């Protein structure tokens, strides 16, 4: 027997007498630019069986990796036809007979990657989902599994940091960057961020400093800044790079002896180049990090549960907010994908599909 609750806000017309539901999904059957290959299609979902869970997706963001996956430029290769998107927050509508830990009405996020989340409804397996408190905001929950976790792991797993230590990063206005600032504030670390110069740089600096950044400098300003030489801040022992090219080289120059730079993205598409002097004389190290790998290797670990608890506790306390974002309806996917592809210059904000109504 199915345990279910009909949710307010779901149009009666989309239910049939067996509780099946029409899902509207952004699907693609070949790689290409998202605006060209994504199509909004309808599928009838059958009732969840055994360990399956039928969910209504409430919100799902567009991340750079989602775009790269559709383009065929990401290591994760979906089977076609594929539904776009990798993270979301959803509400459980009903569960199969063997589901023990979830019930209708709960909010959940995906624990597994590559489930396809740009859809109004989906059937997932119980062990692919994690229940999340409804006190966590929809935008926060929807964007919790990729970027905050990446920031969390990079801050924890490479260098043993103590209160008062400094972390430096480029792409400091990215969603990961915003998560780094907020975790640094929560953990008593100094967070120095490098961003590209832009007409509204003062507003951007103010926004990131409100999130917890200690200093935000442009690429030109960091070259001449004396914040480390003057002793105002301790030299960084840890650096994060999501840009590559000259930006990565410049950031790595500021590392203290024995410091580590972790590369987790390559937004400029330029290779990471290393300055020879700091490499030799300061013995700095260069590492890479991929959250998808870490999550697979630690799928059911106590450390993963602890990480989610810490992040959701901060979100509930209002100490960790979603990245600067705009909610967009699913049928505006062409505009949202083009904007996320950064055609207009600077990234500015994250786009989140809103399927909550
Ligand atoms: N390894 C992992 O596990 C992992 C996890 C999460 C994210 N990532 C990667 O991290 C990166 C950031 O992801 P996100 O979701 O945080 O991104 P996001 O919020 O969309 O922000 C993108 C960032 O990249 C910068 N950027 C874009 N194009 C650039 C260019 N040509 N040169 C220099 N900077 C550029 C943007 O700066 P502007 O404002 O100046 O455009 C912005 O800071 C992506 O590459 C993503 O794939 C990796």
Q: Tell me the CATH number at 34.
A: 3.90.180.10
What are the structure tokens assigned to 319, written together?
């100490």
Q: Are residues 155 and 260 in the same domain?
A: yes
Helices (H) and strands (E) in the chain, counts: 12, 19
Whether residue 291 has its Cβ less than 6 Å from ligand 1: yes
Same domain, 133 and 153: no
Same domain, yes or no, for 103 and 211?
Answer: no
DSSP string for 209-271: HHHT-SEEEEHHHHHH--TTTTSSSPPPSEEEESSEHHHHHHHHHTPPTT-EEEE---TT-EE
pLDDT computed for residue 15 by the predictor = 41
Ligand 1 neighbourhood includes 218 CB (under 6 angstroms)? no
Pairing label, strands 190-195, 121-125: unpaired
Let me know if residue 310 belongs to a domain.
no
Indicate if the pLDDT at residue 8 is higher than 80: no
Any atom of ligand 1 within 6 Å of the Cβ of 243: yes
Pocket flag, ligand 1, residue 193 (CB < 6 Å):
no
Q: Inform me whether the pLDDT recorded for 308 exceeds 60.
A: yes
Per-residue pLDDT for 3 more than 50?
Answer: no
Query: Does residue 287 form part of some domain?
Result: yes
Let me know if residue 309 belongs to a domain.
no
Instruction: Decide if 125 contacts 115 (C-beta within 8 A).
Output: no
| Residue 165: band (very low, low, confident or very high) from pLDDT cuts 50, 70, 90 | very high
Strand partners, 170: 194
Per-residue pLDDT averaged across 239-264, rounded? 97
Residue 196 CB less than 6 A away from ligand 1: yes
Domain presence at residue 63: yes
Confidence bin at 20 (pLDDT 50/70/90): confident
Residues 155, 276 share a domain: yes
In a domain, residue 113? The reply is: yes
Structural domain ending residue among the three candidates 292, 313, 332 = 292
The number of the ligand 1 atom at minimal distance from the alpha carbon of 170 is 43
- Percent of the chain at pLDDT exceeding 70: 94
Within-domain flag for 203? yes
Distance from Cα 268 to the centre of ligand 1, integer Å: 9
Residue 151 sits in a domain of what CATH number?
Answer: 3.40.50.720
| Residue 272: band (very low, low, confident or very high) from pLDDT cuts 50, 70, 90 | very high
Say if 317 falls within a structural domain: no
Residue 66 and residue 175 in one domain: no
Closest residue CA from atom 42 of ligand 1? 174
Q: What percent of the chain has pLDDT over 90?
A: 89
CA-nearest residue, atom 10 of ligand 1: 265
Same domain, 176 and 284: yes
Q: Tell me, what's the pLDDT at 340?
A: 84
Residue located nearest, by CA, to atom 12 of ligand 1: 174
Tell me whether residue 299 is one of the annotated catalytic residues. no
The answer to whether residues 328 and 288 belong to one domain is no
Q: Which of 28, 74, 264, 351 is catalytic?
A: 74
pLDDT at residue 344, as a whole number: 58
Instruction: Note the pLDDT tens digit of each residue in 37-83.
Output: 999 999 999 999 999 999 999 999 999 999 999 999 999 999 999 99
- Atom from ligand 1 closest to the CA of residue 247: 33
The best mutation among 70, 246, 265 to test binding of ligand 1, ranked by most ligand atoms within 8 Å of the C-beta, falls on: 265
Instruction: Please choose from 34, 158, 171 the residue to mutate so as to test ligand 1's pocket, defined by most ligand atoms within 8 A of CB.
Output: 171
260 and 189 in a common domain? yes
Q: Is 14 within a domain?
A: yes
CA of 209 to the centre of ligand 1 (A): 19
Distance (Å) from CA 241 to ligand 1 centroid: 9
137 and 164 inside one domain: no
Span 335-349, pLDDT tens digits: 998 888 775 578 789
Residues 265 and 281 in one domain: yes
The total domain count for the chain is: 2
Nearest to 121 by CA among 22, 12, 7: 22
The answer to whether residue 6 scores a pLDDT higher than 80 is: no
Separation of CA 242 and ligand 1 centre (Å): 6
User: 158 and 135: one domain?
Assistant: no
Same domain, yes or no: 10 and 113: yes
Any idea what DSSP says for residue 330?
G
Question: Rounded to whole angstroms, how far apart are CA atoms 58 and 353?
Answer: 8
- Domain of 108 in residue numbering reads as 3-143+322-354
**Rounded Cα gap, residues 64 and 337, in angstroms:** 10
């Amino acid at each position: 027997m199915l345990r279910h609750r009909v949710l307010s806000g779901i149009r009666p017309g989309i239910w049939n007498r067996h509780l099946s539901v029409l899902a509207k999904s952004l699907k693609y059957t070949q790689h290409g630019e998202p605006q060209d290959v994504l199509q909004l299609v309808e599928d009838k979902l059958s009732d969840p069986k055994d360990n399956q869970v039928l969910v209504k997706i409430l919100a799902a963001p567009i991340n750079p990796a989602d775009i790269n996956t559709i383009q065929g430029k990401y290591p994760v290769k979906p089977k076609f036809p594929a539904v776009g998107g990798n993270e979301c927050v959803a509400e459980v509508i009903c569960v199969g007979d063997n589901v023990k830990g979830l019930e209708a009405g709960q909010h959940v996020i995906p624990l597994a990657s590559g489930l396809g989340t740009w859809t109004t409804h989906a059937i997932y397996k119980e062990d692919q989902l994690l229940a999340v408190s409804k006190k966590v905001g929809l935008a926060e929950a929807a964007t919790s599994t990729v970027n905050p976790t990446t920031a969390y792991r990079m801050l924890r797993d490479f260098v043993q940091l103590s209160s008062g230590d400094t972390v430096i990063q480029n792409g400091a206005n990215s969603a990961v960057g915003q998560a780094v600032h907020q975790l640094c504030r929560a953990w008593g670390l100094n967070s120095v961020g490098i961003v590209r110069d832009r007409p509204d740089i003062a507003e951007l600096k103010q926004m990131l400093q409100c999130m917890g950044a200690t200093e935000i400098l442009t690429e030109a300003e960091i070259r001449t800044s004396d914040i480390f030489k003057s002793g105002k801040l301790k030299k960084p022992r840890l650096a994060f790079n999501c840009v590559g090219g000259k930006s990565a080289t410049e950031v790595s120059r500021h590392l203290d002896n024995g410091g580590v730079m972790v590369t987790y993205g390559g937004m400029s598409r330029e290779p990471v180049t290393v300055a020879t002097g700091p490499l030799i004389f300061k013995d700095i190290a260069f590492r890479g990090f991929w959250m998808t790998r870490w999550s697979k290797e630690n799928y059911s670990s106590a450390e993963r549960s602890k990480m989610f608890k810490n992040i959701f506790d901060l979100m509930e306390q209002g100490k960790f907010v979603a990245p600067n974002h705009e909610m967009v309806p699913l049928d505006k996917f062409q505009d949202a994908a083009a904007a996320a592809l950064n055609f207009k210059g600077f990234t500015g904000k994250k786009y989140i599909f809103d399927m909550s109504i």
